[in-house]
Chains A and B, each alone.
Chain A
Amino acid sequence: MVDKKTVEYVANLARIDIREDQKSRFTDELSRILEYIDKLKELNVESICPTRGAFTEENVLRPDRQKKKEYYTDILNNAPASEDNHFRVPKVI
């Protein structure tokens, strides 16, 4: 069902490094889980509407207002690296 290549492809999409020795284990486990999930194919769901949330209450909107930056410092303090009130990341360009 799922081969090592698929696990590598999905891990790349999810931006997760997976150790070489874990790849075959994840391949086996994911295959078994997806095989179980294939049970859903027994049902004919063509005419069924999907449920994405528990209850469809109306869309919730609020006015777009400017707010005080009250958490600014606290948020930056939680970052692994920051400089001049910004998050610091490796060079992108």
Chain B
Amino acid sequence: MAKDLLKLSGLEIAECIKNTEVSKDEVLSFFRKRIDSIDPRIKSFVEVYSEPVKTLGGSNLAGVPIALKDNICIKGKRISCASRILSSHISVYDATVVKRLKEAGLLIAGTTNMDEFAFGSSTESSCYGPTRNPWDLERVPGGSSGGSAAAVAMRLVPFALGSDTGGSIRQPASFCGVVGFKPTYGRVSRYGLVAFGSSLDQIGPITTNFIDCAYLLNVICGFDEHDSTSSRKDTPDFTQFLRKDIKGLRVGIPKEYFSAGLDREVESALKEAVNIFKKQGAKIVDVSLPHTEYAVATYYIIAPSEASSNLERFDGIRYGMRKDASALIELYKKTRGAGFGDEAKRRILIGTYSLSSGYYQAYYMRAAKVRTLIKKDFEDVFRSVDVILTPTSPAAAFKIGEKTKDPLSMYLSDIYTIPVNLAGICAVSFPCGFTRNNLPIGAQLIGKAFDEGTLINAGFSFQQETDYHNKIPVINM
């Protein structure tokens, strides 16, 4: 039994439970044993629940365990965002995605590691220490949803949820060789997700394949009155796009994503991916997104501005830790000085600076205008293509410690994922090859707003022709 479960998707495990080939308890204890024996080496979990969170209903995925990034509220459970400042905070309500998971009968198995408040691309800024990439323990799993991606890659859970503000689902998915989907802004409720950049944040699934991805999107997407930016657009049944038919699909290849700075091995894996799409009948179109080079600069004004405002609430009065002082302002300063890590401080300082009197026009306002140009680039290109294919990251996973001394180099590792968040559209990273050192390479498909279905269709077709997503890392114990 044990060997089979490892090779099954979440959907197949749910089917086995339904057919009584295996019980829910057997599934749980199988993954629990895997976590206990393997996770001490990769440290992907923050907390593993001794009993999974109670469910309220059923669905195609009922009985399957899932892990959640530690920035999503689960009522009665600890939430920390991997920050000292929240330390022992207990969520007082369920995030809307948690409510939906419970109603679908999924079993929440625990919470996963992340960069502090999702500020980072490597999971190294976590107050618990870094998660390791299961393909090479000396390397980062990517970030900020590095714990979720590493756990799924290692099959410690069949799937997990992450959050994506500038690539935090897709980049770790790419580094760990799994599928990471960032839905269109407004598709998934942000209620109960600890806010980072409120105009950019979106929760999404991390899975091993596109079938589980479509089924999980069915569970978590949909209008929610608790999120004022939640879209009222109808949610399609995403599983109807699981067809191997992409004849005539117009795939745009933006030249700006294949220029200087792209690793050779990543480039050749992407070329191979283009060939696979071509072989299946897709039409390849050269396109241009001329403002791509301004995306990282734009993002590092907008995201820290929103973050500095969102993190004002952590003041030592209502949450987590407090450093006592005789005056209120001193209490704020001491608490925030001791509670936030370096990257959180850096981003709060950048954000506060760009929103401060005298700099607002030059920084925040200018960035908000460039954001319009970046968004328009995509609108223009999507007049002539259905999807855009790019690398997810300029290179495969980097070494632990390699970029921590140079924040700007860390920021630039998200150069291909950030534009999608600024435009609010949807995108997915999926495995498309391996480097000579056996590190996964990720390809990114970008779609029009609310056109997740076409991405699922294209990704599913790709996985019918390839086997990269079935590879499981081997860790010598």
Write out the residue numbers on chain A whose beta carbons fall within 8 Å of the beta carbon of B331: 89-90
Give the contact-size bracket for chain A: 35 or more
Min CB distance A6 to B, Å, is: 8
Given A18-B337, A90-B331, CB of A55 within 8 Å of CB of B424: yes
Write out the residue numbers on chain B whose beta carbons fall within 8 Å of the beta carbon of A60: 228-229
Tell whether, in the assembled complex, residue B349 and residue A32 are in contact, meaning their CB atoms are under 8 Å apart.
no
Tell whether, in the assembled complex, residue B186 and residue A57 are in contact, meaning their CB atoms are under 8 Å apart.
yes
Min CB distance B465 to A, Å, is: 33
- Among residues 296 to 326 in chain B, which have CB atoms less than 8 Å away from a CB atom of chain A? 296-298, 300-301, 308, 315-322, 324-326
Min CB distance A71 to B, Å, is: 4
- Among residues 24 to 78 in chain A, which have CB atoms less than 8 Å away from a CB atom of chain B? 26, 29-30, 32-34, 36-43, 45, 48-55, 57, 60, 62, 71, 74-75, 77-78
Given A89-B331, A90-B326, CB of A51 within 8 Å of CB of B349: no
B477 beta carbon closer than 8 Å to chain A: no
Tell whether, in the assembled complex, residue A80 and residue B297 are in contact, meaning their CB atoms are under 8 Å apart.
no
Write out the residue numbers on chain A whose beta carbons fall within 8 Å of the beta carbon of B144: none
Chain B contact residues: helix, strand, loop or mixed: helix
Tell whether, in the assembled complex, residue B321 and residue A50 are in contact, meaning their CB atoms are under 8 Å apart.
no
Tell whether, in the assembled complex, residue A51 and residue B372 are in contact, meaning their CB atoms are under 8 Å apart.
yes
Min CB distance A31 to B, Å, is: 11
Tell whether, in the assembled complex, residue A33 and residue B318 are in contact, meaning their CB atoms are under 8 Å apart.
no
Min CB distance B209 to A, Å, is: 28
Write out the residue numbers on chain A whose beta carbons fall within 8 Å of the beta carbon of B228: 60
Min CB distance B85 to A, Å, is: 11
Partner pick for B93 among A45, A55, A71, CB 8 A cutoff: A71
Tell whether, in the assembled complex, residue B92 and residue A74 are in contact, meaning their CB atoms are under 8 Å apart.
yes
Tell whether, in the assembled complex, residue B316 and residue A16 are in contact, meaning their CB atoms are under 8 Å apart.
no
Min CB distance A8 to B, Å, is: 10
Min CB distance A23 to B, Å, is: 11
Interface segment out of the listed B23-31, B49-57, B117-125, B359-367? B359-367
Tell whether, in the assembled complex, residue A89 and residue B317 are in contact, meaning their CB atoms are under 8 Å apart.
yes
Tell whether, in the assembled complex, residue B408 and residue A36 are in contact, meaning their CB atoms are under 8 Å apart.
yes
- Among residues 4 to 19 in chain A, which have CB atoms less than 8 Å away from a CB atom of chain B? 6-7, 10-19
Q: Mark B322-334, 1 if CB is under 8 A from A, else 0.
A: 1011111101111
B336 beta carbon closer than 8 Å to chain A: yes
Tell whether, in the assembled complex, residue B372 and residue A54 are in contact, meaning their CB atoms are under 8 Å apart.
no
Tell whether, in the assembled complex, residue A80 and residue B316 are in contact, meaning their CB atoms are under 8 Å apart.
yes
Distance between Cα atoms of A18 and B349 in the complex (Å): 11
Tell whether, in the assembled complex, residue B336 and residue A33 are in contact, meaning their CB atoms are under 8 Å apart.
no
B16 beta carbon closer than 8 Å to chain A: no
B340 beta carbon closer than 8 Å to chain A: yes
Write out the residue numbers on chain A whose beta carbons fall within 8 Å of the beta carbon of B326: 90-91
Given A51-B372, A62-B225, A92-B328, CB of A14 within 8 Å of CB of B317: no
Write out the residue numbers on chain A whose beta carbons fall within 8 Å of the beta carbon of B301: 37, 40
Distance between Cα atoms of A32 and B318 in the complex (Å): 35
Distance between Cα atoms of A19 and B373 in the complex (Å): 40
Given A48-B373, A90-B327, CB of A40 within 8 Å of CB of B367: yes
Distance between Cα atoms of A79 and B365 in the complex (Å): 36
Tell whether, in the assembled complex, residue B346 and residue A30 are in contact, meaning their CB atoms are under 8 Å apart.
yes
Write out the residue numbers on chain A whose beta carbons fall within 8 Å of the beta carbon of B321: 80
Min CB distance A16 to B, Å, is: 5
Write out the residue numbers on chain A whose beta carbons fall within 8 Å of the beta carbon of B41: none
B280 beta carbon closer than 8 Å to chain A: no
Min CB distance B289 to A, Å, is: 14
Given A30-B350, A40-B367, A78-B90, CB of A15 within 8 Å of CB of B297: no
Q: Nearest 3 pairs between A and B by C-beta?
A: A54-B424, A17-B337, A50-B368
Residues in A lying within 8 Å of B, measured CB to CB: 2, 6-7, 10-19, 22, 26, 29-30, 32-34, 36-43, 45, 48-55, 57, 60, 62, 71, 74-75, 77-81, 87, 89-92
A-B contact pairs, 17 of them (CB 8 A): A14-B349, A17-B333, A26-B345, A30-B346, A32-B408, A37-B363, A38-B297, A42-B294, A43-B370, A49-B372, A50-B365, A51-B369, A51-B372, A54-B229, A55-B449, A57-B186, A79-B318
